[in-house]
Amino acid sequence: MPSITVIEHLLLHQKESPMATGRFTRLLNELILAAKIISREVNKAGLVDVLGFTGEINVQGEEVFKLDEFANRVLIHRLERAGVLCAMASEENADLIEIPSAFPAGEYILIFDPLDGSSNTESNVSIGTIFSIYRRKSPAGKSVTMDDVLQKGSDQVAAGYFVYGSSTMMVYTTGQGVHGFTLDPSVGEFLLSHPQIKIPERGKIYSINESYWNYWDAPTRQVVSYFKSPDNERGQPYNLRYIGSLVAGFHRNLLAGGIFMYPADNRDPKKPRGKLRLMCKAAPLAMIVEAAGGMATDGKMRILDIEPQELHQRVPLFIGSKKDIQKVMAFYQKGS
């Protein structure tokens, strides 16, 4: 297969798409450049002083890793000057990131998690950058409001992630199929390697942190018991694969089939809806999994239908193969 870059693919295969515009390709190009810089730093993390904590605590009350901060800075630096955004939001920043007046503004809004799973950097586990793209709702020229940003996941115009693992990959969708590109470091280009990704209807893998068993409600325990029992529709237990890195776990399940779960638990009264954020993690991955034929729910409703109330709100997440998600919803339906 000839080597096709991301932009060639976008222009070749989605020319009828409203996303095959010069401004959107500019946005993708800047995201790709940021990812190449982050990938280079992640891949040499063990050799230079970018490991470990910065000693700071982020807006979520979590320790900030140097690579987190580095990735966040690279993305903001590249994207603020691209001339295609009117606002950005990052998991690492409490409020909206304004586009400095020195740079031209555009119509898109970018929401991202600069380095998901970064607590794993020290153990060389794959980590990733997740991004979500919306169009502003208010007319150009006016200042951007939180209303422009707090849009349902179904309003995303594109979503994707970069996974920094044994190879660096980019997976994204504009709603017309899900496509995977692998970075060829010898030419510095992401080349099409996984066209039209489709997630198997039923998986063989379930991914969850079972150490929270005692903090889950009854329907959640029934869900987990189902996947580890031989008496399920598969006729044998699913394999448990959990590496504490959402992007890596999601990517494996997207290709092989399976379900990733991070349910609500009662460990922390301040986080009754679980740990994962809706806007910079769940919504973009939900757009991708649906475009690949899968599903994503909070247990009761479609992730993409949730009306966000605040930028960093959290959501229980069940995401992956369609039949496995339908089973989860049936348990919660019965339990409600």
Does 246 bind ligand P6P (CB under 6 A)? Our answer is yes
Does 253 bind ligand P6P (CB under 6 A)? Our answer is no
Each residue 275-294 as x (binds ligand P6P by CB under 6 A) or -, in order, gives xx------------------
- Residue whose structure tokens are 């063989």: 204
Q: How far is the CB of 116 from ligand P6P (least distance, A)?
A: 5
Report the residue number, 108 or 212, with the smaller CB distance to ligand P6P.
212
Helix, strand, coil proportions of the chain in percent (round to 5)? Answer: 35, 25, 40
CB 234 within 8 A of CB 202: yes
Q: How far is the CB of 250 from ligand P6P (least distance, A)?
A: 9
Report the residue number, 106 or 153, with the smaller CB distance to ligand P6P.
153
Site for ligand P6P in 116-155 (CB under 6 A): 116-117, 119
Does 251 bind ligand P6P (CB under 6 A)? Our answer is no
Report the residue number, 108 or 262, with the smaller CB distance to ligand P6P.
262
Q: Which stretch binds ligand P6P (CB under 6 A): 77-85, 94-102, 114-122, 147-155?
A: 114-122
Q: Which residues lie closer than 8 Å to 287 by C-beta, 6 or more apart? A: 132, 153, 156, 158, 159, 173, 175, 304
How many chain residues interact with ligand P6P (CB under 6 A)? 9
CB 280 within 8 A of CB 112: yes
Q: What are the φ and ψ backbone dihedral angles of 159, each rounded to 5 degrees?
A: -155, 155
Q: Which residues lie closer than 8 Å to 20 by C-beta, 6 or more apart? A: 10, 11, 14
Each residue 168-207 as x (binds ligand P6P by CB under 6 A) or -, in order, gives ----------------------------------------
The whole-angstrom separation of Cα 273 and Cα 307 is: 15
The whole-angstrom separation of Cα 312 and Cα 149 is: 11
Q: Which stretch binds ligand P6P (CB under 6 A): 35-43, 111-119, 283-291, 308-316?
A: 111-119
Q: Which of 39, 193, 245, 297 binds ligand P6P (CB under 6 A)?
A: 245
CB 103 within 8 A of CB 81: yes
Residue-wise DSSP of 160-186: EEEEESSSEEEEEESSS-EEEEEEETT
Binding site for ligand P6P (CB under 6 A): 116-117, 119, 209, 244-246, 275-276
